[in-house]
Amino acid sequence: MILRKASSIVLLLLVVAALAEAQEGHTGRAFLGPIIGGDFGFDRGEIPVLALSIDCGVFTRGTSISPSAGLRLMFPSALLPRLGIMATGSLSFSSSTFSADPVDPIRIFDNENSALIELNRIFIFNPSYWRTDFDLLLSYGVADRLMIAAGGAVRFQLRGSYRETDNVLGPGDYSFRDGLRVHEVTNGSRLTTSRAVVGPTMHLSYGFPIGGGRLLAPEIAVTADLTSPVREAVWRRYSIGGRLALLFDVSPVSPIDPPVVAIDSVPARVDPPARPHLSAAISLYSVDELNRPLSVTKIHVNEVLLRQHAPLIPAIFFDRDSATFPSRYATLRRQETDSFYVDGLAGLDVLDIQHHALDVIGSRLKANPSSRLTLFGSASRDERPEVPRARAETVRDYLEQTWGISRSRITMKDGFGPMHRSNESVEDGRADNRRAELVTAPEWVMAPVITEQIVRDFDPPIIRMSPTYDAAAGMKRWTITVMQNGDTIARYTDRDAARRMQPELAWRLAPDQIDSNLAPLEAELVVEDSTGATVSARTQVAMTLEKRLQVVDGRVARNGDREQLSYMLVGFGYNSSELGKQNEATIRDIAGSIRDSASVTIIGYTDRIGEEERNVQLSTQRADRASDALQLLLEQRGLRGVQIEAAGRGRDMERFENDLQEGRALSRGVGIVVEQSTGAAGRR
């Protein structure tokens, strides 16, 4: 009888799904396959403990588990493109556990202790039964392969058993008078199994295509039973569980009608059925500042070469008692050195470039086999004596193992290097002395890092794409593909438009996507209707380069016939105004770029260590030393109309982060600004 009912329900589900497909007028996809799962239930009820009398206690709360296996049938687009039907039939086994405290206590006499002992007891109720489950749900495709479904569930209970026990938990090893700790309750509740249980259910699933028209679909299911599984008591079950289905595409293939042949064997003319109308078009446009549409016939491209100069500190700094590179320093593996190039540091600020100094120096040493390096290890007075040598060895080993620099080109020296040691009465000074100093020959190996980066901007920067179509049979999906030279650089679908709640799509041009040869951009719209027919439309827009290359040097600013040149001198020792060879070379470059009647401003700086009065005095000395060296070189060139002003500002916290040793080293410097005529008027 039960099997006949189950067969009838499955047949009903198939008929409903088939009718829905036929009513829509198209053949949707169908999937069929096995499904396994398991539920965890929260049981709530009022089940008497003894003889259907609540006076003896009531089971009110319990838990259950239910493994299951069955078959699923799914039509994901039976009613609408995203609205479908899902049916599941399965066989499951459910086992529950309830517990309740007894109303009446049981006491036994302990002869050994001459005391009356009350037993700690609990009633346990274990119902279990086999059943067949049938779910019929409406499904909705929330996103690509993500589906939510809701509907009703019917549970036909095949066979049930109800076991109830009285259990002694203590105290200690006490038991019933017969020595047992568990008694079967023979006068427990007399329960009879209900034939069916009904209630709502909701599923959330995701389909993973695994080839061959198959889907692997895990899901989460929530179910509530509105009726009781037993007739004599109130009992409700709320469950949450997981499922895993393996579904096969069993969509029917439309048969091909045989040709109609006349009786006289002359084939009669049969006009093919007219296909539903399907057309598409796509347009590209931009908008002005008032959001008014503007037609786009050409995209203008501007190119700018950004050039930046960053001086290098001739030292690598370490943490206390450590000879390991701090995490802020960038390091490479041996196989990565071939892809390292200095222009890859473009966009980093001066302080961040210091953390790539090892690879800059390594690449320069590798490119010039005759160059050499001398290393000096240094430590603060509160560190172990072996630390300085270990720091120099760390730098040497990295250059040897990563960049392939032979040890014969690297000299290790004990004692202090050319850099001045900082004041160790403060922690900043002690941290500055925890370093490995680098001296190169020739000196240009430690020259400033000059990076160049080409930056593009587009006019207009955003292209809006508006797809239009006319699909008499109903649109199933559309896709817009943006291409250049046959390569796809962007793709959008009708779902993207739905998420944005607007019919058109905005595409922001990105320099890393556009090919440097500036070939035309093409946009292709493909529309598919509910019958599977497709139509495409294509348009393109040319690209033109407005300016091949405009060089913007970070040190140069021009306004009309005036220009401003900015330079940075760093590497001054602690509490020292000595220029050093690298700064002297930079001053020679500055002197060679200055024209007569120029105005030069020189500002000296210090780090945050020390008293402010001393810092202002020291920064003034640094500015004066740079001014004297520059004045001497200008006089040798015969330029006597250049005005030079020098001043000291002490410490300027906005220049570099003084919490880092590298930031303090960069702060011990001089800024030089040259303002002069470009000489354009004289050339006219």
Q: What are phi and psi of 590, to 5 degrees?
A: -65, -45
- Contact between 472 and 277 under an 8 Å Cβ cutoff? The reply is yes
| Beta strand spans in 530-580 (E) | 534-553, 556-559, 562-569
Measured CA angle at 105 (ends 45, 52), to 5 deg: 35
Question: What pLDDT does 72 receive?
Answer: 93
Q: For the full predicted model, state whether its pTM sits above 0.85.
A: no
pLDDT over threshold 50, residue 257? no
- Contact between 33 and 245 under an 8 Å Cβ cutoff? The reply is yes
pLDDT over threshold 70, residue 430? yes
- Contact between 237 and 198 under an 8 Å Cβ cutoff? The reply is no
* Distance between first and last Cα of the chain: 109
Q: Which two tokens stand for residue 292?
A: 């008014």
Closest CA to 312 of 114, 151, 208, 449: 449
Q: What is the pLDDT of residues 515-547, one digit of tens each?
A: 656 678 888 999 998 888 999 998 888 777 665
**Is 613 exposed, middle or buried, given 0-12, 13-18 or 19+ CB atoms closer than 10 A?**
exposed
pLDDT over threshold 80, residue 201? yes
**What are the extents of the domains in the chain?**
2-249, 279-287+292-302+455-551, 312-446, 557-683
Domain 557-683 has CATH 3.30.1330.60: yes
Question: What pLDDT does 3 receive?
Answer: 43
**In a 3-state reduction of DSSP, which class is residue 269?**
coil
Do 279-287+292-302+455-551 and 557-683 agree at the fold level? no
Q: What are phi and psi of 15, to 5 degrees?
A: -65, -45
**In a 3-state reduction of DSSP, which class is residue 595?**
coil
Alpha-carbon torsion 628, 631, 633, 636, what sign? negative
Task: Provide the b/e sequence for 195-216 (b: ≥16 CB within 10 Å).
Answer: eebebebebebbbeeeeeebbe
- Contact between 95 and 131 under an 8 Å Cβ cutoff? The reply is no
Q: Which two tokens stand for residue 423?
A: 């004041």
Greatest mean pLDDT range, 277-291, 502-516, 553-567, 568-582: 568-582
Q: Which two tokens stand for residue 618?
A: 């020291």
- Contact between 217 and 245 under an 8 Å Cβ cutoff? The reply is yes
For the segment(s) 312-446, the CATH number from 3.30.1330.60, 3.30.565.10, 3.40.190.150, 2.60.120.460 is 3.30.1330.60
Give CATH for domain 279-287+292-302+455-551.
2.60.40.1220
Distance CA 673, CA 147 (A): 65
pLDDT over threshold 80, residue 514? no
Question: What pLDDT does 9 receive?
Answer: 52
| Beta strand spans in 191-289 (E) | 196-206, 208-209, 214-224, 234-249, 278-287
Distance CA 280, CA 528 (A): 10
pLDDT over threshold 70, residue 17? no
* Overall size of the chain counted in residues: 684
CA dihedral 406, 409, 413, 416 (to 10 degrees): -110
Mean pLDDT of 274-290: 80
Distance CA 345, CA 359 (A): 11
CA dihedral 377, 379, 381, 382 (to 10 degrees): -140
- Contact between 340 and 333 under an 8 Å Cβ cutoff? The reply is no
Distance CA 642, CA 584 (A): 19
Mean pLDDT computed over every residue of the chain: 83
The separation between CA 276 and the C-alpha centre of its own chain, rounded to angstroms, equals 44
> Which is higher by pLDDT, 461 or 278?
278
> Which is higher by pLDDT, 156 or 271?
156
Q: Which two tokens stand for residue 86?
A: 């899902």
Q: What is the pLDDT of residues 48-105, one digit of tens each?
A: 887 655 557 788 899 999 999 999 998 888 888 788 899 999 999 999 999 988 877 7
Bridge-partner residues for 376, per DSSP?
413, 437
pLDDT over threshold 60, residue 149? yes
The residue type found at 269 is R
Mean pLDDT of 140-156: 87
Closest CA to 133 of 163, 90, 76, 190: 90
